[in-house]
Amino acid sequence: MRRTVVFLKVVNSATRFHIFGVFKHKVQSDAVKSMVKVHTRRHHTARMMDVKTTKVSKARYYIFKLFLCLRYYLDLLIDRLFGIYYDSKREYIPKVKNQLVLESATALARKIQRRELTSVQVVEAFIERIQQVNPIINAIVDNRFEDALSEARQIDQDIANGTIQEVDFQDKPFLGVPFTSKESTAAKGLSWTFGLKKRQGKKASFDAHCIESMKKSGAILLGVSNVPQLNLWQETSNPVFGLTRNPYNTTRNVGGSSGGEAAILAACGSPLGVGTDIGGSARIPAFMCGVFGHKISNSIVSTKGLTYRTGEEEETMVCVGPLARHVDDLLPFIKLLAGSNADRLNLGLQVPVKKLKVYYVTNPKDPLMSPFREEMHSVLLKAVRHLEGLCLEKPQELVFEQLQHQYKLWKYWMSLEMKNFRKDLNNREGDQVNAVWEIIKHFLFGGDFTTATVFNLINGFLKPVNSVWAVEVTQSLKEAFLTKLDDNSVLLYPSAPFPASYHNAALLRPYNFDCFALWNTMKFPVTQVPMGLGKEGLPLGVQVVAAPDQDRLCLAVAKELEREFGGFVPPVIVADK
């Protein structure tokens, strides 16, 4: 045992030097120290007392540190190898020439209302931008440009002849403004395949409830955007429409499942996006593409028309997830989508941010996730420090042991959502797909399903999570959060271990979405807030969490962080006027 401890001490010391300097971007020793600190702080204080007296515990402590260091460098190696393949393939999206596409949806609606702009001018600007960027990023997979322009002309005519008056804009905040939506959400006359070859060419015959609400408000649908197969992956790619690329760096992941939606917003091809969120499906892409994404409180917006959902489901984690480049667009967006349920959210109540209680978690210490890199840790603490200087009460760090089970909890509740998964893959026609055959077929000579879908099939053969344990831990964790979160408090939570990684690298790090999925399990509202760009020019961000139906608190803090840190940063140079 003594020899083991000595050996581990040597390893621990060695990781502080550049013995792994073969990487192009060398990691300074203080970064490794910081990474280890993040994973061992506070939560391990009591354990450290035992380390001094128990050699076995000390050995375990160093083994844990060794594991973290090895995992950290393994991630760097993955990045290095994927970079060798992808970096030469990078493309750049064109500069923004028309300044209209940079404005918020609410600002555009005001200008249309004041007759400073016409709806046609706005719609044409975004159509032109989509046509510029989409051949590069592959975000929009079907469009209705001619119909959109026809609707815009009608709105302009109605404004001109007085049919539409100023009072109409009060109930219709995006009147005359375009929007886009993910392909898996039914939009009449547009593609509705969910990325399944068996549905290739299928068009929706009706509008999902959320699309219907947007259209009734006078917002104009431009098209639908790419998704992973059945929305079940953290990268947007499928055999029907291919891979969607990140506007900040086309070699990088856009997230999923609302990846096409976040990508076209970031590329300034749309001012508003209708996403959905069941395991971070709106917030993961929002994070990776540097826009705002919000998971609305559960049971506020009907799920009718979201993939196979009818809106009659009694219990589900899925929510509509609006995306926008400007936080001011989110509140009217949510109000519009919520309809008669908006009163539950009290969106009209003012939120004095300085009176809020602020809590934060620096690291959930989830062993399935990659170690957090320094820039992600730093950006969360920047948000904490800013609120510390603003709020009357000092932010308080929270540590909950149950957070290490983020994925297991989500996996259990997701298993209740995916009871028909194999039949869904067969478009609910006839028998369910043969999982074993599809797995073999995929790796031998391909098939109709992506590697991500095959991963989900394999996952179905693994030992299920104990239901009694999952229910108990979920309830205890929710109660622990609710002892802190009320109608005057928020929680800052990390988004991911690092910014958008190379395409397909998520297959080697499949659990790095856990910090997003946790809040679907808890059924809490969350806003993903962009916090500038990191050292590689990729978006950084944090999540702002509140108690159920307290969405306005998330939005208020998101607005304050946008004001202080700048919010959305365009991924392209803006051309001279």
If DSSP states are collapsed to H, E and C, what string results for 212-241? HHHHHCCCEEEEEECCCHHHCCCCCEECCC
List, in sequence order, every beta strand (DSSP E) within 283-341: 292-295, 319-324
Contacts of 205 (CB under 8 A, 6+ apart): 186, 188
Is there a contact between 191 and 231 (Cβ–Cβ < 8 Å)?
Answer: no
- Rounded Cα distance between 15 and 33, Å, is 9
pLDDT band at 314 (very low <50, low <70, confident <90, very high): confident
pLDDT at 24 over 60: no
Q: Is the bond preceding 257 in cis, omega lying within 30 degrees of 0?
A: yes
**Which residues are known catalytic residues?**
182, 257, 281
Q: What is the arithmetic mean of pLDDT over 409-427? A: 96
Question: Would you say residue 23 has pLDDT above 50?
Answer: no
What whole-number distance in Å separates Cα of residue 558 and Cα of residue 563?
9
Alpha helix positions (H), 267-405: 283-288, 330-338, 374-390
- Amino acid letter, residue 70: L
In single-letter form, the type of residue at position 57 comes to: S
Residues 292-301, mean pLDDT to the nearest whole number: 97
pLDDT confidence tier of residue 65, bands split at 50, 70 and 90: confident
* Paired residues of 249 in beta bridges: 246
The whole-angstrom separation of Cα 252 and Cα 90 is 9
What was the pLDDT predicted at 56? 66
3-state secondary structure of 412: helix
pLDDT band at residue 47 under the 50/70/90 scheme:
very low
What confidence score (pLDDT) does residue 502 get? Answer: 98
pLDDT the model gives residue 529: 98
pLDDT in tens, 473-505: 999 999 999 999 999 999 999 999 999 999 999
Cβ–Cβ under 8 Å, residues 245 and 236: no
Containing H/E element for 277? strand 272-277
Residue pair 433/460 in contact (Cβ under 8 Å)? The answer is no
The model's pLDDT over 361-398, given as tens digits with 9 standing for 90+, comes to: 999 999 999 999 999 999 999 999 999 999 999 999 99
Q: Which amino acid is at 489?
A: S
Looking at mean pLDDT, say which of 27-31, 51-55, 411-415 comes out highest: 411-415
pLDDT at 79 over 50: yes
Cβ proximity of 217 and 174 under 8 Å: yes
Q: What percent of the chain clears pLDDT 70, i.e. is strictly above it? A: 90
Residue 17 has pLDDT above 60, yes or no: no
Q: How far apart are CA 406 and CA 459, in angstroms?
A: 16
Q: Which whole number is the average pLDDT over 211-237?
A: 98
Can you tell me the mean pLDDT for 342-347?
96
Helix axes 209-216, 330-338, angle to 10 degrees: 110
Q: Please give the pLDDT value at position 27.
A: 35
Does pLDDT of 347 surpass 80?
A: yes
Question: What is the C-alpha separation between 210 and 192, in angstroms, rounded?
Answer: 15
pTM: 0.90
Q: Is the pLDDT of residue 443 over 90?
A: yes
What would the mean pLDDT of 1-26 be, rounded to a whole number?
36
Q: What's the average model confidence in pLDDT over 132-146?
A: 98
Q: Tell me: pLDDT of 313 over 90.
A: no
3-state class (DSSP) for residue 508:
helix
pLDDT band at 58 (very low <50, low <70, confident <90, very high): confident
Find out whether 154 and 218 touch, Cβ atoms under 8 Å: no
